Amino acid sequence: MDKIRIRGGHALKGIIPISGAKNAALPLMSAALLTEGELKLSNIPYLADVITMANLLVQHGTTLHMDEKSASATGFGRTIGLKAANITNFTAPYDLVRTMRASVLVLGPLLARFGQAKVSLPGGCAIGTRPIDLHLKALEQMGALIELADGYINAFVKGKLKGADITFDTVTVTGTENVMMAATLAEGETTLRNAAREPEVTDLANCLVKMGANIQGIGSGTLIIQGTKALHGAEHSVIADRIEAGTYAAAAAITGGDVELQGVSMQILGAVAEKFAEAGIDIKPTAKGVRVTRNNGLNGVDVMTQPYPGFPTDMQAQMMALMTVAKGASMITETIFENRFMHVPELTRMGAKINVHGSSAMIRGAKQLTGAEVMATDLRASVSLVIAALAAKGDTIINRVYHLDRGYERLEEKLSACGAEIERIKS
């Protein structure tokens, strides 16, 4: 397994192009199953999770065409064409779902268009139990018959799904996406209340509208979808990855650097930009994106993760890495996932002072982190170690790099272009 070695202590300076959002690309790709027409998606990030989704769609019978010459001016982002005119297999197998929970996003589209889907139950993951009961309950309200057997969800519907008035008990991102996609091909009107408002959900809704769907309330907590008989092909560009941008903003800030993140806006960074400013980081819009600088010390700030527009759970670990060297104390409370402090023991090995009490972590700023050999069990926890390592004294070796490859496109290249001493050690 590959490792990453980082020698800390270099202030990051330069430009980082931000890739297309992983969490937008995955549902957008699964939306191809809703039509026999071609869905052409540009600004697709080249990531392990995107490849897993491509493999999943192809094994269902989707044809995939990648335009090799399609890299944007920055060298990142590809255009792919997906055509689900000949779907022959309605099963999402364990081997693929196991490696990526977002595989469950094929359930809604397959069921809505073909009246059947068999999807492996995702099971637990490193950050918690993460059930999908709300996806299933909503689809049942729309008339689906759902059985769980042998580790699989077997879903059927006689004829078409029927529009329904659905209230999600908890805000769920992929749940909203799955059911919204299903509703575009249902008979009649579906109302989704307490729907997720994440920009990635909005990006999917905008693409579905281009495909012929009728969706009102996009960007709000109530989505009203009028089902149509069929959708058609469309072209869509994936929005920028606000989590990737926030991650590099944290990396720039912890090193006292000066970095322009191209392709993102202050607006899409939202609560993350606000918290960074509160911590003493200069974060300002530029013509091409956002500039992050830090000339003064970092201040400890309190953070609580919330559904959008609150502070994202996917930035919690990176924020904690930043707070390990801030002045004073900070309290980070995780409200979305129950087991999302896997980075704490590893950051502690690098000299961070962190105490966890239930769903909150109290961080007391240390003067200096020190390099160590570390590993993490999920994507964002891994990248928080990268951030810590950039500011640490000496060398850090990060094991299990495959986590990073799931969500960060050419991380070493982007960081070393800004002066980081970082290398991948091939196993």
Chain residues that interact with ligand UD1, rule: CB under 6 A: 23, 26, 101-102, 128, 130-135, 170, 172-175, 200, 312-314, 336-337
DSSP state of 175: H
Altogether, the residues listed in the chain come to a count of 427
Comparison of 111 and 391: residue with beta carbon closer to ligand UD1: 111
- In the complex, what is the shortest distance from the CB of residue 28 to ligand UD1, in angstroms, rounded to a whole number? 11
- In the complex, what is the shortest distance from the CB of residue 411 to ligand UD1, in angstroms, rounded to a whole number? 17
- In the complex, what is the shortest distance from the CB of residue 332 to ligand UD1, in angstroms, rounded to a whole number? 15
The 3-state DSSP composition of the chain as helix, strand, coil percent (nearest 5) reads 35, 30, 35
- In the complex, what is the shortest distance from the CB of residue 9 to ligand UD1, in angstroms, rounded to a whole number? 31
Tokens of 114: 């073909």
Write down the H helix ranges in 130-195: 133-141, 173-184
Taking the C-alpha atoms of residue 240 and residue 43, their distance in angstroms, rounded to an integer, is 8
Taking the C-alpha atoms of residue 97 and residue 103, their distance in angstroms, rounded to an integer, is 5
Comparison of 223 and 420: residue with beta carbon closer to ligand UD1: 223
Taking the C-alpha atoms of residue 341 and residue 127, their distance in angstroms, rounded to an integer, is 8
Taking the C-alpha atoms of residue 202 and residue 98, their distance in angstroms, rounded to an integer, is 27
Comparison of 6 and 53: residue with beta carbon closer to ligand UD1: 53
Comparison of 15 and 356: residue with beta carbon closer to ligand UD1: 356
Residues that are catalytic: 125
Q: Is 26 helix (H, G, I), strand (E, B) or coil?
A: helix
Taking the C-alpha atoms of residue 4 and residue 376, their distance in angstroms, rounded to an integer, is 12
Comparison of 365 and 407: residue with beta carbon closer to ligand UD1: 407
Tokens of 63: 């044809």
Taking the C-alpha atoms of residue 228 and residue 93, their distance in angstroms, rounded to an integer, is 29
